[in-house]
Amino acid sequence: MKVKLAKTAGFCFGVKRAVDTVYKELSRQENEKIYTYGPIIHNEEVIKDMQRQGAIVLRTEEELDAVTKGTVIIRSHGVEKRIYDKLEAKQISVVDATCPYVKKIHNIVRKESEEGKFIIIIGNPDHPEVQGIRGWAGKDAAIIQNPEDIEKLSIKNDKKVCVVSQTTFNYKKFQYLVEIISEKSYDIIVLNTICNATKERQTETRQIAEEADAMIVIGDKHSSNTQKLFEICAKACKDTYYIQTLDDLNLNQLGSVETVGITAGASTPNNIIEEVQKMSELSFEQMLDESFKTIHNGEVVEGTVIDVKPDEIILNIGYKADGIITKSEYSNDSSLDLTTVVSTGDAMTVKVLKVNDGEGQVLLTYKRLAAEKSNERLKEAFENKEVLKATVTQILGGGLCAEVEGVRVFIPASLVSDSYEKDLSKYDSKEIEFVISEFNPRRNRVIGDRRQLLVAERAEKQKELFARLQVGDTIEGVVKNVTDFGAFVDLGGVDGLLHISEMSWGRVENPKKVFKVGDNLKVLVKDINDTKVALSLKFPETNPWAHASEDFAAGSVITGKVARMTDFGAFVELAPGVDALLHVSQISRAHVDKPSDVLSIGQEIQAKIVDLNEAEKKISLSMKALEMAEPAGDAQ
């Protein structure tokens, strides 16, 4: 096998200068803390080594603001002008490790901006180098990365324009975007600020990739210039692999090749490049043979997605043959397009169904393994009586369906609530809590129980309420049910009975005409007996008999309404809760056989109170007494 290493691979001048600066400061530090503002370069392995030696990485401006003393090293990508101003105002010691090429761009955009030019920066707006350049460019500046960004530019016709670039930007794309900008008829100057080292690295990488059977690109996943190298290689060489360290090099992916090319980003240290080169120079055929593992039906294996089609997934499982997952072995949803849920490079844990499906491939299942894991999870929840949360996915005639990690749980209507509920539609798409009361995966039977949770919760509330509830207390509640004999009121975990006789000081013929479910009531606790609470709306302060001696004094004339009648007389309502007897003999001076001959229910009459017995709450009336008094009144 032939291995070709790019001469330009590894640290560029600016990166090496920044890294050396940090190690130099660390080597001479005594008690002073050494900070870097942002990762000094885009390579986590280097950053971790610096941290082990005492460097503190400040990743946000808030963390920078908290620094009061020590030395702050500016990263190789550079920072905005205001960061320098902030550190100077705090009198913090600063060591500037900004790449000289980047520093040159800062000076250019500052100068051109001060001369009144509009600054266009071509680059990735999320990259720290570009953000730093923008911070030196004044208020009239814009960052563009593609032709669409150019169309959004708003520049006055008389404004001169200066165009610069991110140092690691793709040179061909830079030229393409400059051509489009030039067509806008701006008064424009273009300064190609792409680093020569970057152009040389990209050019050499393209040449090697065009000749190699496989390419290995080494660099941090967040490194912009390494990402661009990968894009260049991927266009020229189909088998291109992006790795960060030797641990990421999967020999199974390379297969049997004759030529392997190696390149690395500007932030990749030499030791990692050397490790990869050394490993590559070994016999890949031998290593692949040694790395092939044996697998068996039913075995759980790890794999990496190497291709996805709408109806199947192909995985590299470290075996001499690839693994296949059909749509039916991934999901029960026959309409699912697998390309919408799985991507190339995804890691998957799967189960082997057949080592050889007849075509030399390994048949795998994702769905069955997921179901097994879910069943294990539910079995554990069942055994531990764990409270689960899930969203109701379906309303059935006999109950609810919810899904827990892909497993259907049925909650019968009798176990949905602690009281009968005829309409379960209110639970649709709602998240509910329940426990597993029956678990039988072989019969595909998993039963949930919400009722016992509500019963337990209500019992706890009852305990708390009975501990503080006293006869004579006034408490608020909600009408839960209305019957012919009264209403049941939920007091917050305890149901109290408001009997029909306690609903009013007056008569209530039908509770359902007075109350409805959901009404809020303020009620009086009349009696507590074990777990039963008797309620009343007959508050003492509203008792109509409280001032009976004044309101219904004997001898006074009063107006009332006939409430009911018997053969011996009529009962007249003088006020809610106060009925008086009008005896048949006291209805008229003329003979009356029975009250209904001269009176009717609801009729309003005027009568004289002839007797008041407060102790027995009895009042006697007479209409005849008023008739007898009329002649004397006329004589006067």
* Largest interatomic CA distance in the chain: 143
From the list 25, 112, 129, 502, the catalytic residue is 129
Q: φ, ψ for residue 67 (rounded to 5)? A: -75, 130
How many other CB atoms are found less than 10 A from the CB of residue 15?
A: 27
Element spanning 559, H or E: strand 557-565
Q: How far is CA 191 from CA 113, 121, 175, in A?
A: 14, 10, 11
Please say whether the beta carbons of 506 and 577 come within 8 A. Answer: yes
d(CA 373, CA 406): 10
Look at residue 300 and give its three-state secondary structure. strand
How many other CB atoms are found less than 10 A from the CB of residue 168?
A: 30
Cβ-count burial 562-588 (b if 16+ within 10 Å, e if not): bbebeeebbbbbbbebbbbbbebebbe
d(CA 315, CA 362): 9
d(CA 309, CA 327): 9
**Which residue's entry shows tokens 């309620």?**
535
Number of residues written out for the chain: 636
**Which residue's entry shows tokens 């009264």?**
486
Q: Is 604 a catalytic residue?
A: no
d(CA 288, CA 253): 9
Look at residue 457 and give its three-state secondary structure. helix
d(CA 56, CA 372): 45
Residues that are catalytic: 129
